[in-house]
Structure 1
Amino acid sequence: MQADSLQHFRDKHVAIVHDWLVVNGGAEKVLHGLAVAFPQAEIFTLVNFMQEGSAPWLNKHRIHTSMLQRLPLARRFYRHYLPLMPYAIEQFDLRGFDLVISSSHAVAKGVITHPGQRHICYCHTPMRYAWDMKEAYLQEANFRLPGMESYVRKTLKRLRQWDCFTATQVDHFLANSHNVARRIAKYYRREADVLYPPVDIEGFALYEGPREDYFLAASRLVPYKRLDIIVQAFTQDPRKRPLKVVGDGPEFKRLARLAAGHDHIELLGYLEGGALQTLMQRASAFVFAADEDFGILPLEAQACGTPVIAYGKGGALETVKGEEHGASATGLHFAEQTSASLLHALAHFETLTFNPRTCRHHAEAFSHHQFWQQLDMLLFRTGFSRA
């Protein structure tokens, strides 16, 4: 894996600021792309509890953590220190760096930079639990202690104020999708260039062989991914189409209860990349019900040649080409985030045909190579000198 298009920036002192290193998820795939682009970069993050061996590329970089790393029970409850995160991120000393890139979906963009430095924020999203998902977050929290909800609401209000102020200190925003660029304009009143996250296209092989009779869903099993909609749809399916669900997380037990008694639904837990790729390659379709900022898994499925049935909102509108694209379609969108809408889409899907090579070709537009080329162009456009 190389990023030769950015070779001329290798003599610059670069700091990459990332919210936290806990799991190797979508934000970390972007961090990986940035780390390859700038092998000389030092990484600053609130906490680093990444499981050993899960991200070996991190070993090539010096990693700085904040005061939160040393607080009691931080490994398990780092999110509970949210009120301290703005203070912690501001304590990093970034003097001596020419370029600061914050990889931010929470507080990383709030790092303090100085005159003569350029701060570019790669924004995965303005923090959704403080903005558009605030009420859903509070509802899911189901606070039982008196006064706790009032305290959290006041904390989130202060966090939004800090979030807006720190947005004024960023020199240039890059958004991971047009979906997020609109959110940046809404909450920060700032324009953002779109730079899609890098997808490991080379790590997923195109499969043009016969498809097997099952549908696949995969993600971290957390509430906002809405795997419950997918499982409910397949429990209600009169044709009992087989469904395989890959992933682990706090929703696993609830999903298992929903699927109980339905032998055509399998919850497989976490699977390593090779096993997941094999399932992707042979599935009739990949099913995706989340309202995501971007969403990398649907593109990995398309890299395998597998079409996607996705909820028609958010990043999926940019990563999945619906049937309105005719012969270049790579899947279809269902209109409502409900099991009934998904069931209707499943029936309609079986009346359509999709070309595996077309799916693969679409996914290739999101490769690492494309990411680095566009990053190089955008850095130059924002005034950061190649010299």
Structure 2
Amino acid sequence: MKTALIHDWLPFMGGAERVLTNFLELYPNSPVYTTICNRERLDGPLKDADIRVSSLQKGKKNIENHRKLFPFMPTAMENFDLNEYDVVLSSSSSVAKGVITNPNTMHMCYCHSPMRYGWEFSYEYASKMAGGSKIKNKVLGYFLSGMRLWDNVSADRVDYFIANSENVARRIWKHYRRESVVIHPPVRCGLFKPSEVDEDYFLILSRLQEYKRIDVAIEAFNKSGLPLVIIGDGPDRDKLEKMANSNVKFLGRQPDEVIKDYYAKCRGFIFPGEEDFGITPLEAQASGRPVVAYAKGGALETVIADVTGVFFEEQTEESLNKAIKRFETMNFDKNEIRKHAEKFDESIFKSKIDTYVNKCYMEFKEEKHWEVIRGE
């Protein structure tokens, strides 16, 4: 079974890249096709993987702002020749699922999310990108309409969908009218360990982008005066640093050794955004630490109310601070929190993926998919 792996882009390591790493560990001889790659910013098996980039890289060593290339990415994906492969496994939150395969190749898509900026989150993205310009907003509206058409058409190229959460499975059905199985993303439980040291700070680990709603957390901690450590970088960092008081500390991007130490010793992990799944709350729980999470999206599938964390109902300073005050009156069991996270361990993830890929490939070879198409 000759396999190829497809990924939207590889500018740096993140949750989706950890999924791709697990795919590569399952299928170590598989090449990785992607639009752009900053290899120096990758780690683990991806560092030395056979990564094949599109023409968008144009010989450049690094691409600092891959988002500006987005209008050209659908075509870049369609230009990859994948005819030699028996199985194509795409890891997609955007364009990766749009690769073209022949009728003898099974295409399975692990969907982190239907294209966020194409569907229900498009209004937020368009408003930010337009910067208040009515003309730009109108032009972006036409562009995003075109992207929705392509996104919907490209979904039909996938033979089997895997959703990373029940939340994403509902969105796949809503936007593509396709069924999917749910296999939650992997947590590196072996990396994170509980600590007996309890330090007096709350923690955020996140890409600093608008939809992550780090601003809500900063407003809440500005008012409460409690210490907050923020690890991560992104386009909103300058704006967020300017609005933060001295009790909020920004550390930027940090290596795993530093991150796991901060996870293990924090009072609790703050998760203020609505994510399709969200791996960081589970990393915190693998470290034995409870989570204060916004009660929407994937967090509802990974945090157990009053056992491994607490929820807040509205993305406001008042709602978050109310939840933190309740959090401070509660006692949490580190071992119980850790055991919950272990249900999402990467060993379980890889076993489920391998089993499902083999099952579907056998069906595909036996042409059961043709029976469905013919209505037999």
User: Shorter-chain-normalised TM-score: which range?
Assistant: over 0.9
How many residues are aligned here? Answer: 365
Instruction: Tell me which amino acid in the other structure corresponds to 2:149.
Output: Q
Q: Does residue 253 of the first structure (1) align with residue 248 of the second (2)?
A: no
The CA deviation at 1:132 is 1.2
Give 1:218-233 correspondences, 5 Å limit: 218-233=205-220
Q: Cα deviations across residues 342-383 of structure 1 (Å, max 9, x unaligned)?
A: 000011011211100011101111111100111122224424
Match of 1:351 in 2: 329
Task: Point out where structure 2 has 5 or more consecutive residues left out of the alignment.
Answer: 366-376
- Of 307-316 and 273-282, the range deviating more from structure 2: 273-282
Q: Does residue 279 of the first structure (1) align with residue 262 of the second (2)?
A: yes
Q: Over the residues paired in the alignment, what is the CA RMSD in angstroms?
A: 2.0
Match of 1:163 in 2: 151
Contact 2:172 2:180 in 1 (8 A): yes
1:87 to 51, 60, 75: 75
Contact 1:118 1:384 in 2 (8 A): no
Instruction: Tell me which amino acid in the other structure corresponds to 1:43.
Output: V
Q: Does residue 303 of the first structure (1) align with residue 291 of the second (2)?
A: no
How many Å separate the matches in 2 of 1:30 and 1:236? 37
Q: Cα deviations across residues 187-242 of structure 1 (Å, max 9, x unaligned)?
A: 000011011111111011122x14222211121111111111101001111xx222
Match of 1:206 in 2: 194
Change (3 A) 1:146 1:311: closer
Q: TM-score, normalised by structure 2?
A: 0.92
Change (3 A) 1:61 1:386: farther
Change (3 A) 1:145 1:217: closer
Q: Cα deviations across residues 115-155 of structure 1 (Å, max 9, x unaligned)?
A: 11100000010110111111100111134777433322212
Match of 2:84 in 1: 96
The CA deviation at 1:166 is 1.3
Match of 2:127 in 1: 139
The CA deviation at 1:263 is 3.2
Q: Cα deviations across residues 317-337 of structure 1 (Å, max 9, x unaligned)?
A: 1111112xxxxx100111111
Q: Percent identity?
A: 41
Give 1:12-91 correspondences, 5 Å limit: 12-52=1-41, 54-70=42-58, 75-91=63-79
Contact 1:24 1:50 in 2 (8 A): no
How many Å separate the matches in 2 of 1:167 and 1:346? 41
3-state DSSP of counterpart to 2:9: coil
How many Å separate the matches in 2 of 1:378 and 1:330? 30
3-state DSSP of counterpart to 1:236: helix
3-state DSSP of counterpart to 1:95: coil
Instruction: Tell me which amino acid in the other structure corresponds to 1:140.
Output: K
Match of 1:217 in 2: 204
3-state DSSP of counterpart to 2:32: strand
Q: Cα deviations across residues 62-114 of structure 1 (Å, max 9, x unaligned)?
A: 22111111189982343222222211111100011010011111111010011
3-state DSSP of counterpart to 2:116: coil
- Of 83-92 and 300-309, the range deviating more from structure 2: 83-92
Contact 1:39 1:60 in 2 (8 A): no
Q: TM-score, normalised by structure 1?
A: 0.90
How many Å separate the matches in 1 of 2:133 and 2:228? 40
Instruction: Tell me which amino acid in the other structure corresponds to 1:27.
Output: A
How many Å separate the matches in 2 of 1:386 and 1:163? 24
- Of 342-351 and 369-378, the range deviating more from structure 2: 369-378
3-state DSSP of counterpart to 2:277: coil
Q: Cα deviations across residues 294-314 of structure 1 (Å, max 9, x unaligned)?
A: 111111111110000110110
Match of 1:177 in 2: 165
